[in-house]
């Protein structure tokens, strides 16, 4: 799901393309996006979560994971990582994403550098999406 949103962003003629929204590590696999295309993808995922708010949490987990990957790859690393952890907590079949190199690096760097901030973000994500 995330790959479909990210690999084929719908770019309008007047939108500026960037590798990511916030400064950070750019990799060769990053896809050029615009602020507007990321906003549209985020809106779509949040609407999906809103419409599925009464369903089983394991059904919502792929949407939460896709939102986490979107945020993670666009520079909101602590928020994205916390969303991914919440998705894995709700649906164990999503566990392989925690082994991805980029996700491991982000989790390792932020947990070591600012554990209190990471814990606060995890609590906020669980309160909002659980």
> Over the stretch 29-74, which tens digit does the pLDDT of each residue have?
666 777 788 888 889 898 988 888 777 778 899 999 999 988 888 8
Mean pLDDT of the chain: 81
Q: In 3D, which of 102, 60, 53 has the Cα closest to residue 80?
A: 102
User: What's the pLDDT score for residue 14?
Assistant: 76
Which of the pair, 34 or 84, is modelled with greater confidence? 84
b/e sequence 50-73, b meaning 16+ C-beta within 10 Å:
eeeeeeeeeebbbbbbbbbbbbbb
Q: What angle do CA 22, 43, 57 make, to 5 degrees?
A: 105
Tens of pLDDT, residue by residue over 104-118, are 888 888 877 888 888
Domains of the chain, by residue range, sit at 2-129
CB neighbourhood size of 114 (10 A): 13
């Amino acid at each position: 799901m995330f790959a479909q949103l990210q690999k084929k962003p719908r770019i309008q003629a007047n939108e500026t393309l960037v590798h990511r929204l916030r400064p950070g590590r750019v990799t060769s696999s990053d896809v050029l996006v615009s602020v507007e295309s990321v906003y549209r993808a985020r809106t779509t995922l949040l609407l999906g979560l809103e419409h599925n708010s009464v369903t089983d949490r394991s059904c919502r987990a792929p949407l939460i994971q896709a939102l986490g990957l979107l945020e993670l790859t666009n520079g909101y690393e602590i928020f994205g990582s916390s969303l991914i952890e919440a998705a894995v907590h709700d649906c164990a079949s999503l566990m392989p994403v925690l082994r991805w190199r980029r996700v491991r690096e982000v989790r390792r760097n932020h947990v070591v550098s600012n554990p209190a901030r990471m814990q606060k973000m995890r609590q906020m994500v669980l309160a909002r999406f659980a």
